Chain A
Amino acid sequence: MASLKTKLQQLTKLQCALFETSYNPTSARTGAKYLRARLRGPAMVRYYPQRIPIQLVRAVAWDMNIVDSREEQRVDDVVDLKKRGKGAPKKKKEKAEEKGKKGGGKKK
């Protein structure tokens, strides 16, 4: 006569067969939880609100004379700096001599 343990095991096996669930008496990891979990990527991508660049708006609605105040401020500042002789230095025409590696390498 079969012991109670084996009987219970048989019962679970039958249950699994009936309800189409996987029979896993040793509780071995099958990796199913990684497949069952919902995908997180689509929600992750939606985190930052989409911003439309003002250049694009200006290009589309060119007749509306939309002012890009930040860009204008920047250009004004550059002119101001140049007046005071504090502008960016002019680019060298000759190629600078190579000095070993440039920068910190490629970033992925």
Chain B
Amino acid sequence: MTNIRVLRDIAARKGVKAHEVVRRAYLACARNQTLEPQIRYQAQLQLNNFGRYSRPTTVKNRCTISGRGRGIIGEFGLSRYSFRMKALAGELPGVFKASW
């Protein structure tokens, strides 16, 4: 199941990839203390001009099955419920229900 939030996240990921190199260059300029303040300021302004979907912080790991944004188990990229369903179905190698 994909929902609009997943599609938005995919768009953000694509944007980050597309703008990453240029953004890094501006970031390095803006943070470089050996450069002229004027240049650093200009670089910072350029950084602000990038769209929303170019910042890596916009990207959020969502459940790859249900699209849920909370309760994600990072190692599998699944929400806690999808994880449970998959694990109980035996589709996650090495994962089994604890019992003692």
Name A's B-contacting residues (CB within 8 A): 28-32, 34-35, 37, 39-42, 44-45, 47-49, 51, 108
Contacts and interface: CB of A to CB of B under 8 A. Distances in A.
Contact of A44 (B21, B27, B56, B77): B56
What secondary structure prevails in chain B residues at the interface with A? helix
9 contacts: A32-B28, A39-B24, A40-B16, A40-B20, A40-B56, A41-B20, A44-B13, A44-B17, A108-B52
Interface in B23-44: 24-25, 27-34
Contacts, number: 57
A34 B27 contact: yes
Contact of B21 (A29, A39, A51, A108): A39
Contact of A31 (B30, B59, B77): B30
Interface of B: 2, 6, 9-10, 13-14, 16-18, 20-21, 24-25, 27-34, 51-53, 56, 59, 61, 64, 77
Residue of B29, B30, B34 with most partner-chain A CB within 10 A: B34
Contacts of B14: 45
A31 B27 CA distance: 7
